[in-house]
């Protein structure tokens, strides 16, 4: 009887210790062997140093934790880690040099069919794809620094790439030098917040068919073509910054076929085009700051039922331009720094409506070279005449209640 009790005790103890087992890896050791030798739930601790690894496959719940950022070198061969499991944690590792191939989309860490996984505090340098997730859910991607140094768009993949994932949190990551900073396709119900995405070759944020997501306090800066989002409904974008996206097809944000969404409290600064939108409907734009953009808004005639309310437009070269005479959107209570009306009844709302489209912006739209004559006396005269007797600019693009003072959004 006593023996039996001891045996059971030993068994439970064994079981318990196995679950919490810590396996310490030394530099040079094979990661794959350590992974294969570990039991589900084990923690692999990486001592500081350099490990070489390629296509390390993880199929059980494990925690991989680095001390002092040990380097995991992919030696330019394919993927570094491949994960298909639940409850995997990867923390504090520095991944460098993945393969550079579009054949297998080489990535530093690639997740398939995984659940409840966390990738945090890692550094990724010179990866083709940084973090690559497909068909997974409940992922947490936090505090990673993903940096590539390619010079051309086709030489590099996306920083954080999610395909067909749901319920994720993407937080406080920094991505630079990749093709797209964050790429989401068929990703639903996720939250991206406080990421800093700058200097990527193509888009800072790029998503398609990714419904019900929220983007909060992210910064997208100096990306090749800004941010482009398409074919999605129920998006919330709040308090993000879109800055310094310069170029002939660079946009603070490009909205194509986006509907039922909210764009609130964002800052659009120094972009060639602040927002470009086509085929988008029922989006609310409120309390955004449009500052020093070439065009604050390019609102194509294919958009309908959008509402622009209580935004600040200041220091933009052109406030709005469009491509047709149909206007199915509503502008109200915005502040326009170019407004020249008066307010006799002192309700802080201008008594004359404001027409944000100016004649010359339509001309520039047709003949880009004519931007050279902008602000010349001749052009100012033309604009004045158009303001008095509108003939070319769409009549309904009008703010009936322009504010006299800018809003203070803090």
Partner 1 sequence: MFKLLKYALYDILKSRFAIIYTVFLALVAISIYQVSDDLSKVSLSLMNIMILFIPLIAAVFATTHFYNNLEFIELMLAQPVKRIHVFLSQLFAVVIMLSLSILLGFGLPMLLWGADGSLLTLLAVGVVLSSVFAGFAFLASVLTRDKAKAIGISLALWIYFSLVYDGLVLYVIYSFADYPLEKTTLALVMLNPVDLGRILMLMQLDISALMGYTGAFFQQFFSSGLGILIAVGALLIWMLFPNFLAMRVFKKRDF
Q: How far is the CB of 302 from partner 1 (least distance, A)?
A: 21
Q: How far is the CB of 377 from partner 1 (least distance, A)?
A: 5
Footprint of partner 1 on 358-377 (CB under 8 A): 364, 366-377
Nearer to partner 1, 161 or 291 (CB): 291
Q: Determine the interface stretch with partner 1 among 60-68, 191-199, 216-224, 287-295 (rule: CB under 8 A).
A: 287-295
In angstroms, the CA 221 to CA 243 distance is 5
Q: How far is the CB of 260 from partner 1 (least distance, A)?
A: 30
Return the structure tokens found at 283: 């989006």
Q: How far is the CB of 178 from partner 1 (least distance, A)?
A: 22
Footprint of partner 1 on 329-358 (CB under 8 A): 337
Nearer to partner 1, 132 or 270 (CB): 270
Q: How many helical (H) and strand (E) elements, i.e. helices and strands, does the chain have?
A: 4, 38
Q: Residues 134, 232, 293, 322: which binds partner 1 (CB under 8 A)?
A: 293
Nearer to partner 1, 19 or 340 (CB): 340
Q: Residues 145, 147, 172, 270: which binds partner 1 (CB under 8 A)?
A: 270
379 in contact with partner 1 (CB under 8 A): yes
407 in contact with partner 1 (CB under 8 A): no
300 in contact with partner 1 (CB under 8 A): no
x/- mask, partner 1, residues 155-194, rule CB under 8 A, reads: ----------------------------------------
Strands 289-291 and 267-269: parallel
The DSSP secondary-structure symbol of 26 reads: P
247 in contact with partner 1 (CB under 8 A): yes
Q: How far is the CB of 367 from partner 1 (least distance, A)?
A: 5
314 in contact with partner 1 (CB under 8 A): yes
Residue 11, C-beta contacts closer than 8 angstroms, at least 6 positions apart = none
Q: Are the C-beta atoms of 277 and 256 separated by less than 8 Å?
A: yes
Phi, psi values for residue 92, rounded to 5° = 70, 25
Count of residues that bind partner 1 according to CB under 8 A: 34
Return the structure tokens found at 100: 């550079």
Nearer to partner 1, 208 or 373 (CB): 373
Q: Is 330 exposed, middle or buried (0-12, 13-18, 19+ CB in 10 A)?
A: middle
Task: Give Cα 109 to chain centroid, integer Å.
Answer: 20
What is the SS3 assignment for 180? coil
Strands 182-185 and 160-163: parallel
250 in contact with partner 1 (CB under 8 A): yes
Instruction: Identify which of 30, 72, 82 has the alpha carbon closest to the alpha carbon of residue 50.
Output: 72
Return the structure tokens found at 22: 């810590």
In angstroms, the CA 322 to CA 384 distance is 19
Q: Is 58 exposed, middle or buried (0-12, 13-18, 19+ CB in 10 A)?
A: buried
Footprint of partner 1 on 51-110 (CB under 8 A): none
Chain contacts with partner 1 (rule: CB under 8 A): 246-248, 250, 270-273, 292-295, 314-315, 317-318, 337, 364, 366-380, 406
């Amino acid at each position: 009887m006593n023996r039996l009790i001891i045996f059971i005790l030993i068994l439970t103890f064994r079981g318990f210790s196995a679950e919490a087992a810590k396996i310490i890896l030394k530099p040079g050791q094979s990661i794959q062997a350590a992974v294969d030798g570990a039991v589900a739930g084990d923690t692999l601790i990486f001592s500081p140093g350099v490990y070489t690894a390629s296509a390390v496959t993880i199929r059980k719940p494990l925690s991989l934790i680095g001390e002092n950022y040990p380097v995991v070198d992919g030696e330019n061969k394919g993927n570094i880690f491949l994960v298909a499991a639940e409850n995997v944690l990867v923390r504090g590792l520095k991944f460098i040099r993945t393969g550079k191939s579009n054949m297998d989309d080489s990535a530093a860490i690639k997740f398939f069919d995984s659940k409840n996984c966390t990738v945090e505090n890692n550094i990724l340098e010179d990866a083709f794809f940084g973090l690559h997730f497909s068909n997974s859910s409940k992922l947490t991607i936090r505090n990673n620094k993903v940096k590539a140094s390619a010079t051309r768009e086709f030489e590099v993949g996306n920083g954080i790439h999610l395909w067909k994932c749901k319920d994720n949190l993407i937080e406080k990551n920094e991505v630079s030098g990749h093709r797209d900073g964050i790429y989401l396709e068929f990703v639903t119900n996720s939250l991206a917040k406080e990421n800093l995405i700058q200097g990527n070759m193509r888009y800072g944020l790029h998503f398609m068919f990714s419904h019900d997501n929220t983007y909060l306090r992210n910064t997208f800066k100096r990306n090749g073509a800004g941010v482009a989002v398409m074919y999605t409904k129920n998006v919330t974008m709040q308090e993000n910054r879109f800055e310094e996206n310069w170029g002939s097809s660079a946009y603070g944000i490009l909205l194509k076929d986006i509907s039922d969404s909210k764009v609130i409290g964002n800052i659009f600064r120094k972009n060639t085009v602040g927002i470009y939108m086509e085929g988008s409907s029922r989006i609310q734009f409120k309390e955004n700051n449009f500052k020093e953009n070439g065009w604050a808004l390019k609102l194509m005639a294919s958009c309908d039922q959008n509402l622009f309310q209580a935004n600040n437009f200041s220091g933009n070269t052109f406030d709005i331009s469009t491509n047709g005479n149909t206007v199915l959107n509503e502008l109200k209570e915005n502040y326009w720094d170019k407004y020249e009306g008066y307010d006799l009844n002192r309700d802080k709302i201008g008594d004359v409506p404001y027409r944000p489209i100016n004649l010359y912006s339509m001309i520039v739209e047709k003949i880009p070279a004519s931007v050279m004559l902008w602000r010349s006396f001749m052009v100012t005269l033309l604009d004045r005449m158009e303001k008095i007797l509108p003939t070319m600019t769409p009549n309904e693009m009008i703010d009936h209640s322009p504010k006299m003072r800018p809003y203070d959004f803090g």
